Amino acid sequence: MKDTNKSILHKDGISYVLPFILITSCFALWGFANDITNPMVKAFSKIFRMSTTDGTLVMVAFYGGYFAMAFPAAIFIRKYSYKAGILLGLALYTIGALSFLPAKMTGEYYPFLLAYFILTCGLSFLETSANPYILSMGSEETATRRLNLAQSFNPMGALLGMFVAKNFILARLNPLDTASRHELNDAEFQVIKEADLSTLIAPYLSIGLVILLMFLLIYFSKMPKNGDQSHSINFIPTIKRIFSIHNYREGIIAQFFYVGAQIMCWTFIIQYGTRLFMEQGMDEKSAEILSQEYNIVAMVIFCISRFICTFILRYLNAGKLLMILAIAGGFLCVGTIVFHDIWGLYCLVAISACMSLMFPTIYGIALKGWETTPSSVLPD
């Protein structure tokens, strides 16, 4: 095992163990942010007596930050360094999370959207910097295994985010639904809104302090430098050059379809299960709760499978394992469509095992031989 670790986290006599641990921690931190935020559409809709459509602006602001900062982040880390990109990402993450306090003090909805946007601008810098940074922390031959190992901690953060959202936010909100809140007078509504907002912001303020600590740890730690750091950016020639590479073009296409499949599978586990359990005679609320448990099981399977796949990659070529899991995932997808009973739900949940390898492996294969700029073009 000792030799294996050296092959993954050592290069030219240099150990990357500490930098790897610090940057891998960031994978869990942005996984937490993603999955604590998903249920907030429903929470904000109820707290502010809004429609679900208005509540979905949370996700617009959230993913808007990713979209807005992907290319600027790539240019920034090429001009400065991976470490600078990580630090700026953590700084924006901290500012966004701590901005929930002044947003709560305004008592308005839109300041929260600004806080989410700032937070995810930070996540965009983190992801654009951290993925290729991990690839560079060792030999090129073990880069895909290294990224799979680091990415294994992302769903662990996601599971923690789900747990906190469910048990420390949603479970503690006032049980009155949106319709009942519309019947309250202004004074009664304001009291409930203030209490619910205090509940909602507490986890964000806590994670903001954790991120600040991580910022200080990385700032004062000696980290490896970019191999191709350059202060001159030839944007158009660089884009033309990277899109001329066969593996890279195919990687973008594969990553596009993978991200779509992941979002659809995880989005519809709850809806699929709720419909199935209601057909079996269960009431809607109980069906939703049980379906949420299946959603958590899917994430646990995803997390465990990443570690298993990282181990298997010691013995099997990354491309071959990716092909095997893609075929298996295709059959499970067919099973989800064909079966209209519990077996269909089992198939939908099991797809998570097949998806576990895909993002880091597609990423690693597509960027083989590269270190920075192309990473921002691949879908997150």
Fold of 234-380: Growth Hormone; Chain: A; (1.20.1250)
| pLDDT at 333 exceeding the cut of 90 | yes
Fold of 1-229: Growth Hormone; Chain: A; (1.20.1250)
C-alpha 181/C-alpha 43 separation (Å) is: 13
Domains 1-229 and 234-380 share a fold: yes
Q: What percent of the chain has pLDDT over 90?
A: 44
Least confident of 97-106, 178-187, 261-270: 261-270
pLDDT band of 231, cuts 50, 70, 90: low
| Per-residue pLDDT tens digits for 100-152 | 999 999 999 999 999 999 999 999 999 989 988 998 888 888 888 888 889 88
Mean pLDDT along residues 306-317: 89
Least confident of 3-7, 141-145, 228-232, 316-320: 3-7
Spatial CA neighbour of 92 closest among 104, 84, 81, 82: 84
Identify which has the larger pLDDT, 261 or 353.
353
| Per-residue pLDDT tens digits for 76-97 | 988 888 999 999 999 999 999 9
Specify the pLDDT at position 364: 80
Contact of 358 with 312, CB cutoff 8 Å = no
| pLDDT at 3 exceeding the cut of 60 | no
DSSP letters of 83-113? HHHHHHHHHHHHHHHHTHHHHHHHT-SHHHH
Determine phi and psi for 322, rounding to 5 degrees.
Answer: -60, -45
Specify the pLDDT at position 253: 87
Sequence spans of domains, the chain: 1-229, 234-380
User: What's the mean per-residue pLDDT of the chain?
Assistant: 86
